[in-house]
Chains A and B, each alone.
Chain A
Amino acid sequence: MGFLIETVIAGLMSGVLYALIALGFVLIFKASGVFNFAQGAMVLFAALAMARLQEHMPWPLAFALAFLIMVMLAWLIERLVLRHLVNQHGVTLLMATLGIAYFLEGLGQMVWGDDIYPINLGLPKQPTLVLDKVIPGGVLISNEDLIAAISAAALVALLTLFFQKSGIGRALRAVADDHQAAQSIGIPLSRMWVIVWAIAGLVALVTGMIWGSKLGVQFSLSLIALKGLPVVILGGLTSVPGAIVGGLIVGLGEKLAEVYLGPALGGGIESWFAYLLALVVLLIRPQGLFGERIIDRV
């Protein structure tokens, strides 16, 4: 019983991280209609920056500097890439972000190095034992994971508030609907995009920081980020709550499948289970659990 609960918790925890990655995707999609294939590369880039900077300064300063770098990156991406692809097909923009992803991965590793780097946030590493009076053996919870979950929740709450309540949030939603229309009512497209990509950069940084603190920062981080895709599909591409719920479902489902189905199938199910789940949901409900229906007008 205790093992089941631990598995569930472990699944939820990785679900939190998936949710964060998915959040980055959803933010950019909601606000600029682009699916940002480079989100994973941004996580890697941000985490690498912070990890290397942290070797020379306390981590809050490294965090701030890394964030600044991400803002600059957002500005560059808008200036050099997005500006020239206004109102193109979604597929074109997707391919462009693929290009950005490759570029960032190469650049990040060239500049910051391609080893594995730790991120030290001063978080307690020992797990706490809880519920040992209720369940025999108790349940081990990692404090690190707990703090990660809480920070992630705080970030999500902040962002949701931002989008719903602020003027910029409204403008961003207009941009997501129709670039040209938003431009024609005077919304400064370029500035909006820089803002969104900077926010996504912030989310990427937080994600990278949390994940890097757990596993160390390395190249495979960008591949894990690919998992964000099925999460976002499951939850719906335009929904922040969808990203959260989707992340938790995928994280949980993956862990449970691995633990309980894995042995029967030879293990390694985690590599594709999330995709299978997303596919099944897609076929039943093409817009995802929380997404908006796409209507084709003739």
Chain B
Amino acid sequence: MFYRENGQFKTSYVSDTQIFPILQDRWFVAALLAVAFVAIPLLGSDYLLRALLIPFLILSLAALGLNVLVGYCGQISLGTGAFMAVGAYAAFNLMVRISGLPLLVALVLAGLIAAVIGMVFGLPSLRIRGLYLAVATLAAQFFADWVFSHVPWLTNGSSSGSVTAPNLQVFGLAIDTPVRKYLFCLAILCVLALAVKNLVRGRKGREWMATRDMDVAASVIGISPVRAKLSAFAVSSFITGIAGALWAFVHLGSWEPAAFNIDVSLKLLFMIIIGGLGSVMGSFFGAAFIVLLPIFLNQLPGLLGIPASTSLISHLEFMTFGVLIVVFLIAEPHGLAALWNTAKNKLRLWPFPH
């Protein structure tokens, strides 16, 4: 009744291919952005911002990057943590060694460096696929772990690889309060998410998806799987690199290489599986889920009146992850995004059953 496309005719190809074709959707997104940009900074507590929203924003960005590679282009990657680490340490080196370098420039450059490294580690994808590619990306992961704790130059002399982020400021405005950090990350996320959405609904997205679905047929119609795969690695690593830099600078403050280890890579993979492969929205859903789950599990024993130690909670977290992955893969392989779309479709018919 409320959610209908009646009367919403598209009279140009431009309007036919817009991101939110249904008017009610546009209202919803506008409201969401209003809440995100206005309501939350005014009303949100520091805890909400620091513990929930900022990690959510940054992890959404990283999940988005990974989704480009795995969901849209079908190349499996278990080494995302490595590219986040490259972004973080690259940004660190740039800021520390080039005095007066603007933060945004450092972030973009760090992303580009991560993109180049991503392409290098993506080269094996030209010859191998599936599981074998997973091993190649794992190589990147473990190698990065080692490099950042054994090569002092990369960490400006720190022997253990642990470093501290410089003070952040953009155009003279210091980014030191949770609200400012939140808005900073939100702005970056919105810009990059829009860029990815544009890529994905245009020619590049079709190249990636064609390579994912059937790369022999893709080459027959003139799509080069080589270019598709390398560009997927490049774009994906660019975004995860920036996410890594944000994670290090904004969320952690100080970090060591272990902050980007294989656990991070696997968590990101879970995010996009649960959230929805090949879906921009799915990346957000997945990130929200992974951020909220530990908090929920932490509260659960209290709510049920059962005492529980932190190690028990962490075991439960593992078990819940495991069960949910399997459940989603069996029941809804396209993740929460698909569930959301199904719900929306049902809403279009409401109050009628069909």
A and B touch in their complex, CB below 8 angstroms? yes
A96 to B326, CA, bound (A): 5
Residues in B whose Cβ lies below 8 Å from that of A283: 124, 127-128
Q: Does A188 contact B (CB under 8 A)?
A: no
Q: How far is the CA of A88 from the CA of B330 in the complex (A)?
A: 10
Q: Which residue of A lies closest to B326 (CB)?
A: A99
Stretch of B132-140, B236-244, B283-291 lying at the A interface: B132-140
Please tell me which one of the listed residues B127, B132, B323, B330 contacts residue A85 in the complex, with CB atoms under 8 A apart: B330
Chain A residue with Cβ nearest B330? A84
The reply on A198 being an interface residue by CB < 8 A is no
Chain A neighbourhood of B216, CB < 8 A: 296, 298
Number of chain A residues whose Cβ lies closer than 8 Å to a Cβ of chain B: 46
CA A298 – CA B218 in complex, angstroms?
A: 12
| Interface secondary structure of B, over-half rule | helix
Could you tell me if A268 and B329 are in contact, using CB atoms closer than 8 angstroms? no
| Closest-CB distance, B322 to chain A (whole angstroms) | 3
Nearest-CB residue, chain B, relative to A287? B132
Which residues B120-144 have CB closer than 8 A to chain A?
124, 127-128, 130-132, 134-136, 138-139, 142-143
CB distance from A278 to the nearest CB of B (A): 6
**Interface hit among B97-105, B190-198, B310-318, B344-352:** B310-318
In the assembly, what is the distance between CA of A267 and CA of B151, in Å?
Answer: 11
How many interface contacts (CB-CB < 8 Å) are there between A and B? 128
Chain A 252-293 interface mask (CB, 8 Å, partner B; 1/0):
000000000000011111011001101100110010000000
* Residues of chain B within 8 A of A226, CB atoms compared: 138, 262
Instruction: Give every chain A residue within 8 A of B273 (Cβ-Cβ).
Output: 95
Assess whether A107 is in contact with B319, with CB atoms less than 8 Å apart.
yes
Give the chain B neighbours of A99 by CB distance below 8 A: 321-326, 329
Interchain CB contact under 8 A, B143 and A275:
yes
Let me know if A103 and B322 touch, CB within 8 A: yes
Interchain CB contact under 8 A, A101 and B127: no
The residues of B with any CB-CB pair to A shorter than 8 Å are 76, 124, 127-128, 130-132, 134-136, 138-139, 142-143, 145-146, 149-151, 216, 262, 266, 269, 273, 311-312, 314-326, 329-330, 333
With A88-B329, A283-B128 known, 8 other A-B pairs at CB within 8 A are A94-B76, A98-B266, A99-B322, A105-B318, A106-B314, A272-B143, A282-B127, A296-B216
